[in-house]
Amino acid sequence: MNLWQAVKMAWKSIWGKKGRSALTILGIFIGIAAVMTIVSVMDGYKRAMLAQYAAMGTGILNVNIYNWEYDMDGNDISQDYFPDLRNFCNSLKDVKGVSPQGRLYNVTVSYGTKSTNNMQREWDDMGNPVGDFPPDMYYGSDQYSACNNLTLARGRDLAMLDMSKYNQVCTLGASAATLFFGSANPVGKSLAVGGSSYRVVGVYASRLTENSGNMNSNLDNFIVFPYTAQRMLGGEKPSEFVVKLKDSDKMKEVKTRMNGFLKGLLPDENFYVYSNDQWQQYEAQALGMVGGVLAGIAAISLLVGGIGIMNIMLVTVTERTREIGIRRAIGAQRASIVAQFLIEAGMLCGFGGIVGIIVGTGGSLILGKLLFKMTIYPSFPVTLGAFSLSVAIGVLFGSYPAAKASRLQPVEALRAE
C-alpha cells in the first residue's frame, strides 16, 4: 500500500464517523487556540511595552536620592542636590542633559469649568481611563524635554531664565492640552494652579504610536513646571533626576562614574541609579514567567486532547481488527499497518490544529483590540509551530495504537467478530 492509498483510507475512516472525529479533535483545537492566543497577547503586551520605552527614549539614567531630613516641627529640610548633580553632569562629555523629575501632588489645577477636583484615577475592566484622568505634574529644568524624548508642537520650551527668575509658567503634554483646552491653542493662556496663575508657554507633541496600546494612553497627560516653582507650589524638593546620554553605549561607564560621584556626595549611600534597560529586562523576565505559566495551563488541554486521540485510535484498532487480519494474511508488512494508523492520527490532529489556528487568530485579533487597541496577528513561525505541534501530538499519541495493530497475528485477527 502506497502513501496516497493510506491517506485516502484515513480520510474515509475520519469522514465515516464525523461526530466522533469532531469530538476527538475538540481537545486539540482548544489547546492550540489557547496557546496561539496566549503567545499573541504576550507579543502585544511586549510591543506596547517597547513602544512606551521607545517613547521615553533610550540612553536614560534615573537617579533617586532619598536622603530626607526633617526639623523638630516635621518640616522637610532636605538639601537641594540638583545644582551639584547638574555641575557634575556638565563635566561629562557623554551626557546630553540632566533634569529633576520631582512630582507635585494634592494641588488643584483648573481652567474654566475643568478642574482636577472633578477627575478620578479610575480604569474600566478593559484598561481604559474612566472619564477625565487628572494629569501628572512634574518639576523640571530647561533640559526636561531633552531628557524625556519630548519635542515641541507649539510655543517654546522651559528656559533657564524661567528657573532663575521664578517665572510662573508651564508646559503641557498633548493629552493634558486637549483635556483643559480642547482643540484651542493653549499657548498664552493661564492655568489656575493651587491658587496661583501659571501661563502655558508650550505644548509637546504626542509620544503615542499605533503600538502604544491602552497601557500607555496616559503617557502624554502631564504638566511640567520649573523646578524653582517648588518654593511656591510646595511639596518635597526633587529627589528624582533624569540624565540623558548622547550615546547609549556609554551607559555602563557613565553609571559607574555617577555612582562614584554620589558616594562622595552622600556618604550614607542613600541613592539608587538605574537605567530603563534594567526595567525592560525585569519586565521581560516577568512576562516570560507569566507566559510560561499560561502556556503550561494551555498545554494541559493538549495533553487531554492527545489522550483522547490515543483512546479513539485504540477503539479504531478494535473495530478494524478483522480488516487488519486480512491485510496481514495477504502479505501486508507491519510498517504499512503502523503508517496507516499514524497517518490517520496525524490527520485528526492536523484538522484540530487548523481549526485551532483559525480560532486562535480570531481570539488574538479581538483581545488585541480590546486590551491594546492594536491589530495582533499570530506570526508565521507561531502558526507553523502550532500546526506542527498538533500533528506531532497525533503521531506521538497514535504510536501505541498503531504498534498494537501491527502486532496482531493474522489468524487471531481473522477470528475477531
Q: What is the pLDDT of residues 198-218, one digit of tens each?
A: 999 999 998 876 555 555 557
3-class state of residue 161 by DSSP: helix
d(CA 287, CA 44): 11
Which of 144-148, 221-225, 280-284, 318-322 holds the top average pLDDT? 221-225
Q: Grid coordinates in use for 341?
A: 494508523
CA 14 from centre of chain: 41
Torsion of CA 135, 139, 141, 144, to 10 degrees: -40
Q: Which long-range contacts (CB under 8 A, 24 or more apart) does 254-262 make?
A: 254/61, 254/92, 254/94, 254/95, 255/61, 257/92, 258/61, 258/63, 258/88, 261/88, 262/63, 262/65
- Other Cβ atoms less than 10 A from the Cβ of 236: the count is 14
Distances (CA, A) of 402 to 63, 161, 340, 348, 352: 65, 84, 8, 14, 20
* pTM as predicted: 0.61
Q: Which residue has the cell 497514535?
A: 398
pLDDT digits (tens, 9 = 90+) for 62-87: 898 876 665 555 555 557 788 889 99
Helices (H), 57-193: 82-90, 144-147, 160-164, 174-181
pLDDT for the residue numbered 338: 87
Mean pLDDT, residues 218-226 taken together: 90
Please tell me the least confidently modeled range out of 64-68, 102-106, 145-149, 253-257.
Answer: 64-68
Is 200 or 21 the better-scoring residue by pLDDT?
Answer: 200
Distances (CA, A) of 91 to 62, 85, 94, 352: 18, 10, 9, 65
Please tell me the least confidently modeled range out of 24-38, 156-170, 354-368.
Answer: 24-38
DSSP string computed for 259-318: HHHHHHH-TT--EEEEEHHHHHHHHHHHHHHHHHHHHHHHHHHHHHHHHHHHHHHHHHHH
pLDDT for the residue numbered 140: 92
| Amino acid at site 18 | K
Instruction: Using pLDDT thresholds of 50, 70 and 90, give the confidence band for residue 88.
Output: very high
155, β-bridge pairs? 202
d(CA 328, CA 414): 10
Q: Are 227 and 139 in contact (CB under 8 A)?
A: yes
On the question of pLDDT at 160 being above 90, the answer is: yes
d(CA 312, CA 344): 11
The percentage of residues in the chain with a pLDDT greater than 90, rounded to a whole number, is 25
222, β-bridge pairs? 136
Would residue 384 be called left, alpha or beta, if left means φ above 0 and alpha means ψ between -120 and 50 degrees?
A: alpha
Is 379 or 140 the better-scoring residue by pLDDT?
Answer: 140
Mean pLDDT of the chain: 83
The angle subtended at Cα 86 by Cα 80 and Cα 92, nearest 5°, is 150
CA 168 from centre of chain: 39
Please tell me the least confidently modeled range out of 34-43, 74-83, 357-366, 390-399.
Answer: 74-83
Q: Are 391 and 350 in contact (CB under 8 A)?
A: yes
pLDDT for the residue numbered 73: 56
Helices (H), 182-275: 230-233, 251-265
Which of 242-251, 261-270, 291-300, 404-413 holds the top average pLDDT? 242-251
pLDDT digits (tens, 9 = 90+) for 397-416: 989 988 888 887 776 666 65
Instruction: Using pLDDT thresholds of 50, 70 and 90, give the confidence band for residue 417.
Output: low
Annotated domain spans of the chain: 3-49+282-415, 67-269
Q: Are 36 and 360 in contact (CB under 8 A)?
A: yes
Mean pLDDT, residues 3-26 taken together: 81
In sequence order, the 6+-apart residues with CB closer than 8 A to the CB of 36 are 356, 357, 360, 361, 363, 364, 378, 382, 383, 386
Is 157 or 372 the better-scoring residue by pLDDT?
Answer: 157
Would residue 109 be called left, alpha or beta, if left means φ above 0 and alpha means ψ between -120 and 50 degrees?
A: beta
Mean pLDDT, residues 285-297 taken together: 75
Instruction: Using pLDDT thresholds of 50, 70 and 90, give the confidence band for residue 131.
Output: low
Q: Are 134 and 281 in contact (CB under 8 A)?
A: no
Mean pLDDT, residues 362-372 taken together: 84
